[in-house]
Amino acid sequence: MVTGTSRGIGAAIALELARRGFTVGCLTRGGRSFVENPAPEELRPRLLEETCDVTDEVAIRRALHDVAERGGGLQGLVNNAGAHIIGPAAEYSTADFQAQVHIALTAVFVGCREAYPLLCANGGGMIVNIGSFFDRVGVKHNAAYCAAKAGVGGLTRSLAVEWGPDGISVLNVAPGYILTAVNRDYLARESTRKYINSRIPTGAVGTCEDVAHLVAALYVEHLPYLTGETICMDGGHSISH
């Protein structure tokens, strides 16, 4: 099951998992996945689309159970859906802060909690939370987002310890700057390119497919001894002095 598959990283992850032979539940708020690039015809039988607003825990529970029943059980969940609400901290409203934490952290917890009995019924499995390298750096106008993503790392560690005896591993994949339709114009700016060249050791931003290949590889290889970790995928950005 993958949340937020309408576009970007979520869509790429769902498609890559399907290419690797998995049946993938694709959860989106509007009920439509792959709105930017339609899924190849040969993969469509493995892609089960479902409408689900991840900020509604009743909807999450229903979607997880419905798609698990359609797909013959649940092996894994990728918590990818999210939003990015920016603004100066001194002017940031409490409502906006709570909204950011709700979509980026609370919804991840609810997804994990509701997936837990389904994974147990399957004999175990793996949850991959999509965090961000912002969980380890300070970023202007991103106090709420950074706090929420740091929370995802803490949640991942705690659930990994608690659910390890049940055969469930929990990981946090934390991408750096990833090229998507949303940020393409920003990343194309000359000032942004100069910053990327000076700050990211690999000299480039990542792609949605980069993240998708990592997540799919984790599921294909099935490494239960790897759990609780945050795997940062940012071209060395967050560790570059």
By C-alpha distance, which of 29, 124, 18 is closest to 71? 18
Amino acid at 76: G
208-221 as b/e, with b when 16 or more CB fall inside 10 Å?
A: bbbbbbbbbebbee
Query: Which of 220, 231, 121 is closest to 168 using CA atoms?
Result: 121
Name the residues annotated as catalytic. 145
User: What does each C-alpha distance from 171 to 75, 95, 100, 135, 138 come to in angstroms?
Assistant: 14, 29, 21, 14, 22
**What DSSP string describes 129-160?**
EE--GGGGS--TT-HHHHHHHHHHHHHHHHHH
Dihedral of CA atoms 125, 212, 28, 226 in degrees, nearest 10, equals: 20
Query: Judging by DSSP bridges, how do beta strands 125-130 and 76-79 pair with one another?
Result: parallel
Q: Which residue has the tokens 């509007």?
A: 30
Residues contacting 185, CB < 8 A, separation 6+: none
Alpha-helix residue ranges (DSSP H) falling in the chain: 8-19, 57-71, 94-101, 107-121, 143-163, 184-188, 190-199, 208-221
Residue 67 DSSP SS3: helix
